[in-house]
Amino acid sequence: MATSTTARGTRLPPEQIGYLVAGPGRAAETALARLLDADLVRVSRDGLVSAVHQTELGASTAVETVILVNLRNTIRFDAVVRNAAKSAEMRTLHQQLRARRLTRNPRPRLAAWWVFLAIGGVLSLAAFLEPWTLFGAVGFLGVAYWTYGAKPLTRAGRAALKDVTASDRVLAVALEGFRGRIGNQSAGELFGLPQSVVKMLPRKKKRKARATSAAGCGSGCGSSSCGGSSCSSGSSSSCSGGGSSCGGGGGGGD
């Protein structure tokens, strides 16, 4: 099944969608999925990946090119993803997404962020009696804002993912990863990959609070909020990825 590199209904190609959904590892998985889809690489049952041709012909992105170059010798499935996720080409992809304001530098949320908010709130109220406390209120509210953290995906990034669905198997990998579920099968199975190969990729742990969210966000980026996806089975399934907003985080293959 050959797939257009441009996702239907969006201007972003699957690789970039993968990056926005779950970071460089997912983008690397997506690039590998596209190469598999185009019959440019093959995977053996013991998880060794090899290029079908000893050239980069057929690669549609820089990340795909670097994967094919590295595959002049067979490489383990997980190492292909890991190497691509750490490549200079992937960093360039990230910079492109940042330049388009689809991602930003994430800031971790400090557990005690609300303490600064509370102090800022109290100082704000106190400013009615002692106006000089307003300076402190502004400072503490600023610290509260900063320590609240920021997700890597911008509003524009979330909007770009809004209506993306797993309308083909490459997009299924972009949205869910090879280990993610599409209906009652893993996205890897859409490519005929045995579970032993798919499981070479590490499954990202989800936060407890998110663990009950809908299936299909298997190899999320850890700070994911993947609720709301509704998957049906089959390679032609439509699996909503619109709710995903876990871009920029660690790679699925790391």
Partner 1 sequence: MAGIRDLGVGIGWRSEIDLTVERLPGVDFVEVVAENLHIGHLPESVTLLLERGVPVLPHAVSLSLGSADQVDLRRVEHLGAVAEAVGAPMVSDHVCFVRAGGLDSGHLMPVPRTRDALDVLVANVRLAQRNLPVPLALENVAALLEWPDGELSEGQFLAELVERTDCWLLVDVANLYANARNIGTDPQRFLDEIPLERLAYVHVAGGEQHGDIYHDTHAHAVLPEVLEVLDELCSRVAPPGVLLERDDNYPSDTEIAGELAAIRAVVDKHRD
**What residue ranges bind partner 1 (CB under 8 A)?**
39-40, 42-46, 48, 50, 52-54, 74, 192-194
In whole angstroms, the minimum distance from the beta carbon of 203 to partner 1 comes to: 22
| Smaller CB separation from partner 1, 144 or 193 | 193
In whole angstroms, the minimum distance from the beta carbon of 45 to partner 1 comes to: 5
Q: Which two tokens stand for residue 135?
A: 């300076």
In whole angstroms, the minimum distance from the beta carbon of 190 to partner 1 comes to: 13
| Smaller CB separation from partner 1, 48 or 69 | 48
In whole angstroms, the minimum distance from the beta carbon of 52 to partner 1 comes to: 5
Q: What is the DSSP letter of 12?
A: S
| Smaller CB separation from partner 1, 95 or 195 | 195
Going by C-alpha positions, the residue among 123, 124, 116, 118 that lies closest to residue 148 is 116
Going by C-alpha positions, the residue among 151, 161, 12 that lies closest to residue 93 is 12
| Smaller CB separation from partner 1, 121 or 194 | 194
Give yes or no for a contact between 141 and 120, defined as CB atoms under 8 angstroms apart: yes
| Smaller CB separation from partner 1, 90 or 193 | 193
In whole angstroms, the minimum distance from the beta carbon of 191 to partner 1 comes to: 10
